[in-house]
């Protein structure tokens, strides 16, 4: 059999959220660099919005139009960033309606493996029926999956969590001391994901079925960072758990020519080294107007220079458009810069004047902060962010802004005090040092390559490659 015939063909289908699409794309690029073929499936608009890629003949993008269901989705809405939070469940319903076209694609393309996300939980069963190996690829950490628990619990067959309060403590199946759990206000914000929602399937059920129906679980993690959680996953699921590394973001050189970046860089160049707070909450997290007011006044009170990337709307149909407090921009002129459009986050974090990152603790942002050695101040909003923040807090990699445990309220004073503690004070030195200590663990190229090699070795060992005999 020739070397060409030993190539794997892997299909990847991430959930329609850029916090999921981008890590899948980073994994696809690493697999393709090893000479294997990747077909990356998403909707036409999502694929068109991907960052510019260097030419790679081993990655093919397959555009799958999103079905229109009862006009529940706004026109051109193909990702979570395009819709308000309460419309995301309709996006999940549209994703579920892709079962038949994806099945037809798999029947015709006959890949060796398919990597799928938690929303299309049905793909593991379809792959099995077609004789295709499947991997549930979790862009979430092993600690989140371990905390969520066994499939029977997630799928409602063993209902041990019957009240939101049950999500605020460490569960019985975690055998080691841990503070990892949602706070009450965090779980209440995402309670629609626990129960049956407008999509007809709860997020918890999707997680459970995704893991139950796959051949392996691939996790965006590394064994040096959370070994106890990876070991727990193997115990509770009884199948191979393969960490694929932290998948640090690739630096896109095209951004150097971006007018937005040049404007920001000129502003940052005028600031002293390590003094600027970078503020950003990702593509999905959107604060309330009251929260924006407290953050803004907190930035004022901190007296630190800041660059704030503020997302004012989730898609053009979002009725709640966020506004800055009256007079805020005038009072902070010269000291602060507010951007309400896309911004090159990795470039900003890499600038020497940036000394800290006020973040929602989305994992891609966490990896990028560690990649650029920027200490984290954490303000969570939804989804996995609360769990991530607890993990980071345990490891002294991030400082959580104090909040009311019931309703999540925080004050402008707590914002200002937290920023000054992490960036300036002696008691915050541990956060500044820990993020530097952890950098090599997260972004070491040889370590990352080792995880990809281990993954591919497993995939090849458990794949019967028949193309050679078929072609003869």
DSSP states of 364-396: HHHHHHHHTT--EEE---STTHHHHHHHHHHTT
On whether the CB atoms of residues 154 and 241 are closer than 8 A, the answer is: no
> Helices then strands (H, E): number in the chain?
20, 13
pLDDT of residue 70: 66
On whether the CB atoms of residues 29 and 229 are closer than 8 A, the answer is: no
pLDDT of residue 371: 95
Q: Where are the domains of the chain?
A: 4-247, 254-441
Beta bridge partners of 138: 219
Query: Can you tell me the distance from the alpha carbon of 248 to that of 227, in angstroms, rounded to the nearest whole number?
Result: 19
pTM attached to this predicted model: 0.92
Residue 470 has pLDDT above 80, yes or no: no
% of the chain beyond a pLDDT of 70: 93
Beta bridge partners of 276: 354
Cβ-based neighbour number of residue 263 at 10 Å: 12
**Which tokens belong to 325?**
């407090």
Domain at 4-247, CATH class: alpha beta
List the single range of 158-172, 266-280, 386-400 with lowest mean pLDDT: 158-172
Query: Can you tell me the distance from the alpha carbon of 199 to that of 263, in angstroms, rounded to the nearest whole number?
Result: 42
pLDDT, tens only, 49-60: 997 676 778 999
Task: Read off the pLDDT band of 1 (50, 70, 90).
Answer: very low
pLDDT of residue 471: 40
**What integer is the mean pLDDT of 256-282?**
88
List the single range of 7-16, 84-93, 286-295 with lowest mean pLDDT: 84-93
Torsion angle defined by CA atoms of residues 145, 119, 137 and 155, in that order, rounded to the nearest 10 degrees: 40
Residue 388 has pLDDT above 90, yes or no: yes
pLDDT, tens only, 70-114: 667 888 899 999 998 888 989 999 999 999 999 999 999 999 999
pLDDT, tens only, 309-337: 998 888 888 888 999 999 999 999 999 99
pLDDT, tens only, 123-166: 999 999 999 999 999 999 999 999 999 999 999 887 888 888 88
pLDDT of residue 253: 53
Average per-residue pLDDT for the chain? 91
pLDDT of residue 135: 98
Query: Can you tell me the distance from the alpha carbon of 369 to that of 245, in angstroms, rounded to the nearest whole number?
Result: 16
Q: Name, in order, each residue with C-beta under 8 angstroms of 392's C-beta and a sequence gap of 6 or more.
A: 361, 366, 376, 378, 398
Domain at 254-441, CATH class: alpha beta
* Closest to 242 measured CA to CA, from 58, 452, 471: 452
pLDDT of residue 209: 97
pLDDT of residue 394: 94
Cβ-based neighbour number of residue 319 at 10 Å: 6
Residue recorded with tokens 């960072």: 225
**What integer is the mean pLDDT of 389-418?**
95
pLDDT of residue 464: 64
* DSSP states along 142-181: HHHHHHH--HHHHTTSS----SGGGGGS--TT--S----S
Residue 465 has pLDDT above 60, yes or no: no
**What integer is the mean pLDDT of 370-385?**
94
């Amino acid at each position: 059999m020739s070397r060409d015939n030993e190539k794997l063909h892997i299909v990847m289908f991430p959930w329609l959220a850029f916090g999921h699409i981008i890590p899948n794309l980073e994994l696809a690029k690493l697999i393709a660099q090893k000479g294997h073929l990747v077909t990356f499936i998403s909707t036409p608009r999502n694929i068109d919005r991907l960052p510019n890629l260097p030419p790679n003949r081993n990655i093919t993008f397959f555009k799958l139009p999103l079905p229109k269901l009862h006009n529940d989705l706004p026109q051109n809405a193909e990702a979570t960033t395009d819709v308000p939070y309460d419309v995301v469940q309709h996006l999940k319903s549209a994703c579920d309606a892709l079962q038949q076209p994806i099945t037809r694609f798999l029947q015709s393309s006959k890949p060796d493996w398919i990597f799928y996300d938690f929303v299309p939980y049905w793909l593991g069963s379809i792959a099995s029926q077609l004789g295709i190996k499947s991997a549930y690829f979790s862009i979430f950490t092993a600690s989140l999956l371990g905390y969520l628990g066994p499939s029977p619990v997630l799928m409602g067959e063993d209902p041990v969590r019957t009240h939101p309060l049950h999500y605020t403590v460490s569960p019985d199946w975690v055998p080691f001391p841990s503070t990892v759990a949602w706070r009450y206000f965090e779980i209440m914000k995402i309670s629609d994901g626990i129960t049956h929602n407008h999509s007809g399937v709860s997020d918890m059920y999707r997680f459970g079925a995704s893991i139950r129906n796959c051949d392996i679980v691939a996790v965006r993690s590394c064994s040096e960072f959370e070994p106890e959680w990876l070991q727990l996953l193997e115990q509770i699921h009884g199948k191979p758990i393969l960490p694929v590394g932290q998948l640090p973001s690739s630096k896109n050189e095209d951004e150097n020519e971006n007018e937005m970046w040049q404007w920001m860089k000129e502003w940052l160049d005028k600031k002293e080294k390590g003094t600027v707070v970078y503020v950003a909450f990702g593509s999905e997290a959107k604060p309330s107007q009251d929260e924006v007011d407290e953050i803004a006044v907190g930035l004022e009170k901190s007296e630190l220079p800041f660059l704030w990337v503020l997302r004012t709307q989730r898609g053009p149909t979002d009725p709640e458009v966020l506004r800055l407090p009256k007079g805020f921009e005038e009072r902070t002129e010269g000291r602060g810069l507010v951007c309400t459009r896309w911004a090159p986050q990795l470039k900003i974090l890499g600038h020497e004047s940036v000394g800290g990152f006020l973040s929602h603790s989305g994992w891609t942002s966490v990896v990028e902060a560690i990649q650029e050695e920027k200490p984290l101040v954490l303000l969570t909003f939804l989804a996995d962010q609360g769990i991530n923040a607890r993990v980071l807090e345990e490891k002294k990699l991030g400082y959580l802004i104090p909040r009311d445990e019931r309703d999540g309220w925080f004050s402008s004073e707590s914002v200002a005090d937290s920023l000054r503690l992490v960036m300036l004070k002696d008691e915050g030195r541990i956060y500044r040092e820990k993020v530097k200590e952890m950098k090599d663990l997260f972004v070491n190229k040889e370590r990352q390559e080792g995880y990809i090699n281990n993954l591919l070795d497993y995939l090849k060992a458990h794949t019967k490659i028949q193309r050679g005999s078929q072609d003869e």
